[in-house]
Amino acid sequence: MNKKVLDETVFQHLLKISIELSSEENTEVLMEKILIAAMTISNADAGSIYMVNQSKEIEFRTIINTSLKMHLGGSSNKPITFPSIPLYIDDQPNKSAMVAHAVNSGKVINIKDVYDELPYDLSAARRIDKDTGYRTQSMLTFPLKDHIGDTIGAIQIINAQQETPEGELKTVEFTADVETQILSFASLGAIALTNKALISNMELLFESFAKTIASVIDEKSPHTGGHCKRVPELTLLIADAVHNENKGPLADFILTEQDRHQLNIAGWLHDCGKIATPEHIIDKSTKLQTIFDRINFIDTKFEIAKRDIDLLHQQKVITALKAGKTIEVKQLERGCMVKHKQLNLDKAFIQKINIGGEFLSDIDEAQINKIANRYTIEINGIKVPILNDDEIENLSIKRGTLNDEERLIIQHHMVVTSNILEALPFPKHLSKVAEFALGHHETMDGKGYPKGLTKEQMSVPARLMAIADIFEALSASDRPYKKAKPVSECLNIIGNLVVKNHLDGDIFTIFVRSKVYEKYINKFANPEQLDDFDIESIPGLITYS
């Protein structure tokens, strides 16, 4: 091949690789193409690609040997069994392997014959020859450097071939012209590896950031610790089940690897706005809790009421005794005992109501008001009801432990989450993270928050995260106002939300019938929560023909 033809061939290969540099997503495949191009230009019989790992070793990534009909690593899907090559031995640069020497020195090394006496120790190459039955002769090794000059790998080509007048191939050295030409391919390889490393590092940084934010939020409260870690796991379990479904309206749903990655990130960030939510609201474990649980203050007021009953009783007894009415004294004693009993019952009732729960009946709410009106106590010379308006309001909370004002504060975390996620300049491959994360408090009827979206306005991943969020909360054992619920109760509660058009019935049906809940409970909760129940009795399930 004359020089002009060779130069044109080099140019064509460089042009092709340059184009693929911006379009080929698989760096391993791209590096293999660069190696093949370098072998073609130099007419080399064999070649390898190496990468420096975190342990300061050089790993084989691709091995091609024409004579041995060997293709390992890269696109071959065949494992490489050769061990990694240490860059240092006993804290000294490894001089027994040429690729290690090239990486350590950062220099291109061109060897005419590895078996000649040279200033290099090439015992490693000779050992490999012994194992493979191959004869390594000429060798050209290029270190691959990143954008800051660190050597991150190497390309090595072996045994340049030249046709003799008799039509046979003989091994020759790599010429200076070939070395210069291959250097261009090594530079493209370095660019490809650098781009991959930069992207991988950015991905790692962003994912670590997301997990760190989630950990900070979980650390804010011992009662919700782990929620931000468990929701991504459950979300992906549900997403995989929907992906595998072959019946119903979601049979065609496909979860790509890119969508799966975005959904995982979204799961970690779904509650990031809680970083701005006051801890005393996140931690509100009882209805009367603020900075402290005011039930202790109310207990004290009941003691004052008891004191007032006793004082009034003593005054009446003294008056009766002075009047010689001994029979009336016994009646007063019985009356006092009745009042004590009622007082103790009312105190116990308030203590029970303070714990909170899934539902407060109208009868219980009326009883709270009766107790408030039943006792008047004197504090600092002022007569006041035993329960003030704020205490009555909080004790009358229908579900959980949060009053209306506190619920609005909690809900505001989604506004903060929206502001955070929509302010982040997500790259294209993470462009759906915000939409996925913001869907878990929306409802199918459009009455949720923060945007009031309907089912038709939401993607499947955004809709399924709501089920993951609620099931995790219901089945968790670290919530402030309840014990971990059995699975049957969790599914009944969620099923009723499906019936009310709050949650997606198709996704819930897949969640239940594929028993995703069972996998989740066994891995992240208490298996004892897996009680016996009839699946068909769960509300909200859809039957497909």
**pLDDT tens, residue order, the chain (545 aa):** 445 444 455 545 545 554 454 555 677 777 788 788 888 888 899 999 898 888 889 999 999 999 999 999 988 989 998 889 999 988 888 887 888 988 998 888 898 988 875 666 677 777 888 888 888 899 999 888 877 778 888 889 999 998 888 878 888 999 888 888 777 766 766 676 777 666 677 777 778 888 888 788 777 766 565 788 899 999 999 999 999 999 999 999 999 998 999 999 999 999 888 888 888 887 788 888 887 888 998 999 999 999 989 888 888 888 888 887 777 778 888 888 999 999 999 999 999 999 887 788 999 999 999 999 999 998 888 889 999 999 999 999 998 888 999 899 888 989 998 999 888 888 888 889 999 999 999 999 999 999 999 999 999 999 999 999 999 988 987 555 557 789 999 999 999 999 999 999 999 999 999 999 999 999 988 899 999 999 999 999 998 87
Q: What is the pLDDT of residue 452?
A: 94
Q: What is the pLDDT of residue 16?
A: 58
Q: What pLDDT sits at residue 98?
A: 85
Q: Which two tokens stand for residue 256?
A: 């790509």
- What pLDDT was estimated at residue 434? 93
Alpha-carbon distance 479 to 476, whole Å? Answer: 6
DSSP bridge pairs for 522: none
Q: What is the pLDDT of residue 390?
A: 93
Closest CA to 138 of 167, 113, 168: 113
Q: What is the DSSP string of 332-388?
A: HHHHHHHHHHHHHHHHHHHHHHHH-BS---HHHHHHHHHHHHH-EEEETTEEEESS-
pLDDT at 499: 96
As given in the structure block, the two tokens for residue 265 are 């990130």
- Residues linked to residue 58 through DSSP beta bridges, in sequence order: 52, 85
- What's the pLDDT score for residue 9? 56
**If you write DSSP's letter for every residue of 308-336 in order, what string do you get?**
HHHHHHHHHHHHHHHTT-HHHHHHHHHHH
Q: Which residues contact 279 (CB under 8 A, 6 or more apart)?
A: 220, 221
Per-residue pLDDT at 224: 61
Cis peptide before 450 (omega within 30 of 0): yes
| pLDDT at residue 229, rounded to an integer | 85
The answer to whether the CB of 395 falls within 8 A of the CB of 367 is no
Residue 406 backbone phi and psi in degrees, to 5 = -70, -35
Q: pLDDT at position 4, please?
A: 46
pLDDT at 184: 72
Displacement of CA 197 from its chain's centroid (Å) = 22
Residue pair 274/413 in contact by the 8 Å Cβ criterion: yes
Residues near 430 by beta carbon (within 8 Å), at least 6 away in sequence: 206, 261, 262, 265
